[in-house]
Amino acid sequence: MISFGFGLDKIMAAIDRATAGNDVQVERGVQLVAAAFMFTGVLSMAGATVQYLRELRRLQHNDYVYRNKPQVGVA
């Protein structure tokens, strides 16, 4: 998601150059969507890191039992 967010602006700029359009509102919208993709990617990566560190702490105990929980990083 992060790389797609970075690339979305360039893709839309190439389409804009091909159609010779110059709409500021569309450009702002694309930048907003790209920023949302990047934010969502960073947020899910941070959540997955926290979950991973918690699981590592649980693994250090001798009485570790695997519990199937919904994964944060799936988002």
Question: What is the number of domains present in the chain?
Answer: 1
pLDDT tens for each residue of 21-62: 666 666 777 778 888 888 988 898 898 899 889 888 888 887
Nearest Cα neighbor of 36 from 2, 72, 70, 74 is 2
Tell me: pLDDT of 74 over 60.
no
What span, in angstroms and rounded, lies between the C-alpha atoms of 23 and 19? 11
Q: Which residues does 35 contact at the CB level (< 8 Å), separation at least 6?
A: 5
Mean pLDDT of the region 14-19: 70
Q: Which residue has the higher pLDDT, 57 or 5?
A: 57
Quick check: 39 and 11 in contact, CB under 8 A?
no
Q: Which residues does 50 contact at the CB level (< 8 Å), separation at least 6?
A: 72
